[in-house]
Amino acid sequence: MTQQKSLSVYYSRKGNNYVSGSIVNLPIGNTEVIAKKIQALTGCDLFQIETVKAYPVDYMETTRVSQDELNQNARPKLAETVADIASYEVIYLGYPNWWGTMPMVVFTFLESYDFSGKTIVPYCTHEGSGLGNSERDIKKLCPTAKVVSGLAIKGSTVGRADNDVANWLKKLDLIP
Ligand SMILES: Cc1cc2nc3c(=O)[nH]c(=O)nc-3n(C[C@H](O)[C@H](O)[C@H](O)COP(=O)(O)O)c2cc1C
């Protein structure tokens, strides 16, 4: 195993969220928890995808806004850009499952850079739908990247997912 320069990129929406049947206020989003575990395990850099326009605080309103975005195949604008993405060989890509795939801003992100020859390592947090169509969508958006087999983690279990994350990365030969 050779050490490759890697970046943990994630989108995560903190605040009101639906967890195992009720609305709770998450000070740190579920996907962010996993993105930081990956950073701790691999020593990679970290980048948070953020939209210029914030989603509503209310969970149900966010589900409506995001469903419209999906139906319109929208590309919400990115608030920040990654410096020197060309220098990274491995991109860990984390997102919540929204309507069976990634939030549309992750589509924007994947279309904003050239991922040719890079390895994309996808994972999502979800409330029952797993990775949904996301791996297929990533492959469509980044046809010249190597997209490896992703990991799905139930949002309510992120606090105890350390072993699952470490075992997945070991299996992919990304950590010893
Ligand atoms: C707009 C929206 C749509 C969602 N759609 C789905 C879905 O289709 N399937 C699913 O399993 N979970 C769905 N969820 C639940 C999230 O995937 C889950 O709570 C996730 O862990 C949130 O991650 P975050 O805190 O990093 O944003 C949705 C959540 C939101 C806010």
What's the rounded Cα separation, in Å, for the pair 129 and 85? 30
Distance 159 CA to ligand 1 centre (A): 16
- What is the reported pLDDT for 18? 82
0.95 exceeded by pTM: yes
Residue type, 21: G
Distance 4 CA to ligand 1 centre (A): 31
**Residues present in the chain in total:** 176
pLDDT at residue 91 greater than cutoff 80: yes
- What is the reported pLDDT for 22? 87
Residue type, 12: S
- What is the reported pLDDT for 119? 98
Q: Which residues contact 169 (CB under 8 A, 6 or more apart)?
A: 38, 41, 42, 175
- From the list 56, 60, 38, the residue with the least C-alpha distance to 47 is 38
For ligand 1, residues with CB inside 6 Å are: 12-13, 17, 26, 29-32, 62-63, 66, 96-100, 125-129, 155
What's the rounded Cα separation, in Å, for the pair 176 and 173? 7
11-49: per-residue pLDDT in tens? 999 988 888 788 889 889 999 999 999 999 999 999 999
- What is the reported pLDDT for 2? 56
Question: What CA–CA distances, in Å, run from 140 to 89, 119, 176?
Answer: 19, 14, 30
β-strand 15-19 against 146-147: which pairing, if any?
Answer: unpaired
Give the ligand 1 atom nearest the CA of 156: 21
Q: Among 3-7, 65-69, 155-159, which stretch is predicted with the lowest mean pLDDT?
A: 3-7
Distance 1 CA to ligand 1 centre (A): 34
115-154: per-residue pLDDT in tens? 999 999 999 999 999 999 999 999 999 999 999 999 999 9
- What is the reported pLDDT for 71? 98
DSSP E strands, the chain: 6-10, 15-19, 22-26, 45-48, 90-96, 119-126, 146-147, 151-154
